[in-house]
Amino acid sequence: MTRKFFLSLAILTFLTAAGTQFAAAQSAGEVDLEKSQAIIFVDKTGFGHQHAVVGKLLESQVRLGARESAGRIVFDMTSFVADPPEARRYLGLEGEIDEGTRKKVTSSMLGRKVLDVKNYPTAVFEINSATIMPQRSRQGHPRYSLQGEFTLHGVTQPLTIQADAVPAGDRIRLRGGFYLTQTQYGITPFTAAFGTVGVKDRLTVYGEIYVAK
């Protein structure tokens, strides 16, 4: 084999390695959309039921440690469904909801009178900063403060989320939550039967977001 061949092979090896490192660097901070999810606890009023609502994310990125332009989390509002058994278990809610009721609740939730996903198919958390906090979690994991603006139903409000950063192989699992008041975003909480059945204005949103290291 000629010297030229070995030189070409060395260059190819170098370029391949460089390309791999570049791809890895590019993926840092990207969110695993298959694993990540948002789970919402919906409390009841009157004779209503407590609900567990779960949904997926669209293209998202979180740059942990960034003091500016730290990424964005995009919620696919059209993907949200009410009361799958695994979501109820996650929130510790007792019992299961039959399929017919789940479909009815989901339809009402996505419809024009509540989330109106036809006109507002996404919600977006624009993260201005994602800085590490001085104190760790009870389990000893690093904690981050994600500060930015959350847009839902066409309304934007400031939002801060505190999240634990749990190692998960080649990713970091961010676990956090925040309260959301529906009326602050122009949403009227669902009611029925002349107000004897309904849900509370304040929701609790939990996130399980897997971020590439």
Q: What is the pLDDT of residues 103-112, one digit of tens each?
A: 999 999 999 9
- Provide the number of structural domains found in the chain: 2
127: CB partners within 8 A, 6+ apart:
62, 63, 70, 71, 72, 73, 146, 147, 148
Q: Do 192 and 119 share a domain, yes or no? A: yes
Q: Domain range for residue 79?
A: 31-212
Please determine, for residue 3, whether its predicted confidence score (pLDDT) is greater than 60. Answer: no
Q: Residue 122: pLDDT band by 50, 70, 90 thresholds?
A: very high
Q: How far, in Å, CA of 86 to CA of 91, rounded?
A: 9
Can you say whether residue 16 is alpha, beta or left, with left for phi > 0 and alpha for psi between -120 and 50 degrees? alpha
First-to-last CA distance in the chain? Answer: 41
Q: Do 178 and 108 share a domain, yes or no? A: yes
Residue 154 tokens, joined: 């066409």
- What pLDDT is recorded for position 194? 52
- The DSSP code sequence of 92-130 is T--S---HHHHHHHHHHHHSTTTT-TTT--EEEEEEEEE
H helices of 28-162, in order, are 85-91, 99-110
Q: Do 137 and 61 share a domain, yes or no? A: yes
93: CB partners within 8 A, 6+ apart:
50, 52
Q: Do 23 and 41 share a domain, yes or no? A: no
For residue 68, give the DSSP letter: S
Half-sphere exposure of 24 (CA within 13 A, CB side): 9
Percent over 70 (pLDDT), the chain? 86
Q: Do 15 and 56 share a domain, yes or no? A: no
Q: What is the mean pLDDT of residues 88-109?
A: 94
What are 147-195's pLDDT values in tens digits?
Answer: 999 999 999 999 999 999 999 999 999 999 999 999 999 999 988 875 6
Torsion (CA) 53, 54, 55, 61 in degrees, nearest 10: 120
Q: Do 14 and 48 share a domain, yes or no? A: no
Can you say whether residue 211 is alpha, beta or left, with left for phi > 0 and alpha for psi between -120 and 50 degrees? beta
Please determine, for residue 28, whether its predicted confidence score (pLDDT) is greater than 90. Answer: no
Q: What is the mean pLDDT of residues 90-97?
A: 93
- What pLDDT is recorded for position 27? 80
- What pLDDT is recorded for position 150? 98
Distances (CA, A) of 28 to 31, 104, 185: 9, 40, 32
Can you say whether residue 83 is alpha, beta or left, with left for phi > 0 and alpha for psi between -120 and 50 degrees? left
Q: How far, in Å, CA of 104 to CA of 45, rounded?
A: 18
What are 33-67's pLDDT values in tens digits?
Answer: 999 999 999 999 987 889 999 999 999 999 999 99
- What pLDDT is recorded for position 191? 84
Q: Do 117 and 178 share a domain, yes or no? A: yes
